[in-house]
Amino acid sequence: MHNIPVGVLGASGYAGQELCGLIASHPHCNLVFATANERRGQTLRVRTTHGAPRDITMIGPDDAPIGDVALVFSALPHGASVDWVGRVLDAGAKVVDLSSDLRPGRGGSTHPIPASVPAQVPYGLPELFRDGLAQARVVANPGCYPTSILVALAPFVRAGLVAPDALVSVAAASGVSGAGASPKLELLYAEVTENFRAYSAGNVHRHLPEMTDSIARLGGNFDLLFTPHLLPVDRGILSTITVPLREPLTDPLAVLHAAYDHEPFVEVSAALPALADVVHRNVVRVSAVNVQHVRSPTLLLFAAIDNLVKGAAGQAVQNANIMLGLDETAGLPQ
């Protein structure tokens, strides 16, 4: 059990690089391969928590020995991942898919799902939906924004505290690593520094369906408005969530504590969470504040994560730990 072979498809992106680093530091997993397309043949240097950095040579995906590993992480682009999930399952390995291809709503994709992929793939947000993950052969790893928003909202939704038919409005801001490592003009340093802007405005971001589906599953009956923004930082997401309440709440922080004090990867905080609190950690840091000077009871929720860790690679390892029967916290920075 201390040397489980795993592989990474799509190692050259920021989430893929983060995955390789976490696996290289993992006490029970062994990185057998890491693939890249354009950067195949190049060396990826990853840091480990014990010992010197490790250099990994990325290979082409078709050269990956997917039949020799117990589990594959797919950090391939949306649209391209699902076919590889099918291939990996056919080869007998388990898969954590970091793309949106198999999440609820599929990120809007209409690409056909291979026959070997189950019709219903568990959504791997363990703090909310841990049931079924341990038995799953494939898990859809949540998006970064949804992880932050759903963890903050869920206890209030489950307890029926959100006003019915209300509009829950989320202003979220992400670092640029969330947009990937493919060179684009709008991601150049000179374009991002000292700048800030919204994007996908009007509720059209492809992360919306996995959030609305999850809210319904939690018993919620309200609308979600999600407005993402691009921050001049490398990593981190902060979600600021306005929640109309059914009735006033005396102690909203207590609701979060009750839900999460036993969870190793959720940190309930009276102080407002900042990106600096969470970068390089596999945690969601959440807080809750009652709104003053308004006529209807209203709650503000805040959730901060590292988009590459709890928002991608860290959560993927957390899901893999569950799927492989390991301690859920193994190899993960708290």
**Residues in 203-222 that interact with its own copies by CB under 8 A:** 203-204, 208, 212
Q: How far is the CB of 67 from its own copies (least distance, A)?
A: 32
Task: Candidates 157, 161, 238, 322: give the one binding its own copies (CB under 8 A).
Answer: 238
Long-range own/partner contacts, residues 89-92 (CB < 8 A, 24 or more apart) = 89/114, 89/116, 89/117, 89/137, 89/138, 90/116, 91/66, 91/67, 92/67
Task: Candidates 57, 68, 160, 201: give the one binding its own copies (CB under 8 A).
Answer: 201
Is 72 a residue that touches its own copies (CB under 8 A)?
Answer: no
Distance of alpha carbon 75 from alpha carbon 35, whole angstroms? 10
Q: How far is the CB of 118 from its own copies (least distance, A)?
A: 27
Structure-token pair, residue 194: 């000292």
Query: Is 26:52 a contact under the CB 8 Å cutoff?
Result: no
Query: Is 303:313 a contact under the CB 8 Å cutoff?
Result: no
Cβ distance to its own copies smaller for residue 132 or 232: 232
The residues in 262-281 that bind its own copies, with binding defined as CB under 8 A, are: 264, 272-276, 279, 281
Cβ distance to its own copies smaller for residue 115 or 276: 276
Known catalytic residues? 144
Contacts of 296 (CB under 8 A, 6+ apart): 163, 244, 245
Span from 119-127, 148-156, 254-262, 289-297 in contact with its own copies (CB under 8 A): 289-297
Which DSSP letter does residue 108 get?
G
Cβ distance to its own copies smaller for residue 1 or 270: 270
Cβ distance to its own copies smaller for residue 69 or 238: 238
Identify residue 269 by its one-letter amino acid code: S
Show the CA angle centred on residue 279, arms to residues 277 and 282, nearest 5°: 100
The residues in 295-334 that bind its own copies, with binding defined as CB under 8 A, are: 295-296, 298, 300, 302, 304, 333-334
The residues in 129-168 that bind its own copies, with binding defined as CB under 8 A, are: 165, 167
Buried b (16+ CB within 10 A) or exposed e, 162-177: bbeebebbbebbbbbb
Cβ distance to its own copies smaller for residue 97 or 127: 127
Task: Candidates 5, 253, 290, 330: give the one binding its own copies (CB under 8 A).
Answer: 290
Which DSSP letter does residue 309 get?
I
